[in-house]
Homo-oligomer: A and B are copies of this chain.
Amino acid sequence: MSTSIKDPSALRIGVAGLGTVGGGVLKIIETHREQLAARAGRPITVTAVSARQRGKDRGVDLSDIVWEDDPVALARRDDVDLVVEAIGGPDGPAKAASEAALGRGAHLVTANKAMLAVHGRALATLSESKGAALRFEAAIAGGVPAVKALAEGMAANNVTRIFGVLNGTCNYILTEMEHTGRDYADVLREAQDKGYAEADPTADVGGWDAAHKICLLASIAFGVWPDFDSVSVEGIEQVSKADIQFAADFGYRLKQLAVAERSEKGCSLRVEPVFAPANSLLGALESVTNAVQFEGDFVGDVALCGPGAGEGPTASAIVADIVDIARGDRRPAFGVPAAAMAEPVRVDAQAALGAHYIRLSLVDRPGVLAQVTGKLGDAGVSIDQLRQIGRSPDPATVLFVTHEAPENALRAALEGVSALDVCLEPPAAFRIARI
């Protein structure tokens, strides 16, 4: 008989990638070993890890843990029941390790929204065919249990709308611009210095990160396969101090909003900077906090908020998934089995009604405003409010709020205005969100 103290009922974890997230997972499993075993009904142990730099001190004891240089080799180990994929990136080693794990029936827990938004269908189908769990709570809103709340807590509902502030970097930049009166480029530089934004900030400020997230939430809510290419994405790069000030004066705040809506015709997904009511839950969010709101036909509106990123929150979400799997929970990745998932049907959002804020840079001379409002009127867009900032020197910044109009009418109007030779810069326009 073996004298090993190892519990044969233990769930054996392999962690691929030991950056902030992977390291955080090891710390939680080490710190809360007994508590996790009680909650999971069985011990949770780490058997193997892999990462690029072997020597680096990660603040955790790796002495009893097998080291693999190759994450795919880690994913194939017989003594690993569940792989935590904390490598990142939509393809490459993250995808290879994920496929290797699921392909042999090992469970997969990941925070990799980019991979799932693109390959979610294939990975979910693979996991189901092998009887393995695929979970990704940490991919959306960090430590906030948004996936669980939607896939399980809202299971009795037909969910028709999701709103979210899902990218902490953008919310940090926008709230800092508001509080300090500084401009976008200045605050972005500071965010990069503080580590809140990457050296290449495109994924965050360009809206791609939030687009991955809303794509996954929509799949769960609507029971359709992820369709990342269908997300309409607009970055926050064009937001100016004038926009933020104007918004504040009228009870709004600039937010990067991710929205998923379903109608009988299909699904519409978008990420864009909007004017959000300052006294709404999402409008009131400060700094890097994330929030998401679900609209269900029986429950009404349910909202969650909390830390959207960082070692502790992200690792907390990963370990929650591990505990669920250890307890035997086998919920399908997107809430329903692959056979019950529908093909996504895209809806053209262009016909949707909306009020908009518009910022124009115009030559400052008599008659110009008449030309501009004429173009707006020709396209069927009427004006609710107007403000001119400064009179000289040229150019004049003129801010409008429109009445509700179809989005394609607004686009046509802006094209008309753009073509005027008194219009000095491409117009900026933001939707006024009804949340």
> Which residues of A pack against B, CB within 8 Å?
24, 27-28, 32, 35-36, 38-41, 137, 143-145, 148-149, 152-158, 223, 279, 281, 284, 296-307, 312-313, 315-320, 323-324, 327-331, 335-337, 340
Contacts and interface: CB of A to CB of B under 8 A. Distances in A.
B337 A38 contact: yes
A343 to B, nearest CB: 15
A299 B281 contact: no
Contacts of A279: 284
A335 B38 CA distance: 8
Given A38-B223, A303-B306, A304-B304, A145 B153 contact: yes
A299 B312 contact: yes
Given A38-B336, A148-B149, A329-B329, A156 B302 contact: no
Contacts of A320: 152-156
Contacts of A145: 148-149, 152-154, 302
Per CB-CB distance, the 8 closest pairs between chain A and chain B, nearest first, are A145-B153, A156-B319, A143-B299, A302-B306, A299-B316, A38-B340, A298-B312, A38-B336
A28 B297 CA distance: 10
28 contacts: A24-B298, A27-B298, A28-B298, A32-B157, A38-B337, A38-B340, A39-B335, A41-B337, A137-B153, A145-B152, A145-B154, A148-B148, A149-B304, A152-B320, A153-B320, A154-B320, A155-B324, A156-B318, A281-B281, A281-B305, A298-B312, A299-B307, A299-B313, A299-B317, A304-B304, A327-B329, A327-B331, A328-B329
Nearest to A303: B305
Nearest to A137: B153
A317 to B, nearest CB: 8
B36 A155 contact: yes
A138 to B, nearest CB: 10
A306 B300 contact: yes
Interface of A is mostly: mixed
A300 B24 CA distance: 14
A340 B328 CA distance: 19
A327 B133 CA distance: 13
A35, A137, A298, A305: residue with the most chain B Cβ atoms closer than 10 Å: A298
Contacts of A143: 296, 298-300, 302
A169 to B, nearest CB: 17
A313 B32 CA distance: 34
Contacts of A306: 299-303
B156 A323 contact: yes
Contacts of A298: 24, 27-28, 143, 312-313, 315-316, 319
B323 A155 contact: yes
Contact of A32 (B158, B284, B316, B318): B158
A238 to B, nearest CB: 29
Given A38-B336, A304-B302, A304-B304, A323 B158 contact: no
